[in-house]
């Protein structure tokens, strides 16, 4: 009798633990199934349901152009956190390409009169996307508000011209603040030297940025991101960023943009 009692005292806790563990697993499975069904229902109703997204964008700014990549991680139905990186070029509104010659014959590379620097930028930042309106159905349009900020690295590359004068012959020159008589003399300019000369003389200027935008996602399926984005940027650099001669250089830049965005969610 004593042996049976001892055996029961050992087996009973093990059986009870096994039953509790089985119930816990069943509860977890049921909760997981309920969550999945809820997500499926939300997706059918037009909500954007995913774990993460990767997207590329082509931007046309009011003062240039840019290409960017973004990575986002789903937090809630309304909120996605992410980061982005962007590379582009900023231009001055006074830039105008000139080609030497007449309507039938041209010589030399086209050049921009008065341009002294190419202004490139590299941005790295964080952003948050908030869903303002779901698709309603899979064929609808989802509207999201995007806002963020980060760091911007401004890069000034000297703009070279090829000139020909009686004293110097044919030569490549850049603007140095004291050679206006040659650099700004259209009678001696043959053309630009091309896009690559001057990269070894790049000047780097750190800055900061903020941005806000509205994105219209018209993708047919939630797995694919196809959108048009419109927004505004503001950047501030620690030093003046001159692009054109005889024009006051600034540190603060503000622009608007439209972008074509495409990517995948999973």
Q: Low-confidence residues of the chain, pLDDT below 50?
A: 8, 11, 17
- 85 vs 226: CA distance, rounded Å: 19
What 232-238 contacts at long range (C-beta under 8 Å, 24+ apart), as own/partner pairs, is 232/256, 232/257, 233/61, 233/209, 233/257, 234/209, 234/210, 235/121, 235/152, 235/154, 235/207, 235/208, 235/209, 236/207, 236/208, 236/209, 237/152, 237/154, 237/205, 237/206, 237/207, 238/205, 238/206, 238/207
For residue 223, what pLDDT is reported? 78
Cβ–Cβ < 8 Å for 35, 28: no
Cβ–Cβ < 8 Å for 194, 162: no
pTM above 0.85, yes or no: no
For residue 8, what pLDDT is reported? 47
Tens digit of each residue's pLDDT (9 = 90 or more) over 235-250: 999 999 999 998 999 9
For residue 218, what pLDDT is reported? 86
For residue 92, what pLDDT is reported? 95
């Amino acid at each position: 009798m004593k042996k049976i009692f001892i055996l029961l005292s050992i087996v009973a806790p093990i059986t009870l633990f096994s039953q509790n563990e089985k119930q816990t697993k069943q509860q977890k499975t049921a909760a997981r199934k309920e969550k999945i069904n809820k997500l499926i229902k939300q997706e059918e109703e037009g909500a954007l349901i995913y774990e993460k997204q990767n997207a590329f964008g082509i931007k046309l700014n009011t003062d240039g152009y840019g290409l960017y990549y973004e990575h986002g991680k789903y937090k809630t139905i309304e909120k996605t956190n992410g980061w982005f990186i962007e590379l582009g070029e900023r231009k001055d509104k006074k830039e105008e390409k000139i080609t030497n010659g007449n309507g039938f014959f041209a010589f030399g590379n086209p050049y921009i009169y008065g341009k002294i620097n190419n202004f490139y930028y590299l941005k790295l930042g964080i952003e948050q996307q908030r869903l303002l309106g779901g698709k309603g159905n899979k064929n609808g349009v989802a509207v999201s508000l995007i806002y963020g900020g980060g760091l911007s690295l401004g890069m000034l590359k000297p703009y070279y011209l090829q000139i020909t004068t009686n004293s110097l012959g044919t030569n490549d020159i850049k603007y140095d603040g004291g050679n206006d008589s040659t650099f700004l003399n259209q009678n001696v300019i043959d053309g630009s030297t091309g896009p690559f000369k001057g990269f070894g003389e790049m000047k780097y200027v750190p800055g900061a940025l903020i941005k806000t935008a509205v994105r219209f996602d018209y993708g047919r399926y939630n797995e694919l991101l196809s959108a048009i984005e419109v927004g505004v940027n503001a950047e501030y650099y620690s030093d003046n960023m001159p692009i054109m001669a005889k024009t006051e250089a600034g540190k603060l830049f503000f622009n608007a943009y439209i972008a074509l965005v495409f990517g995948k969610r999973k």
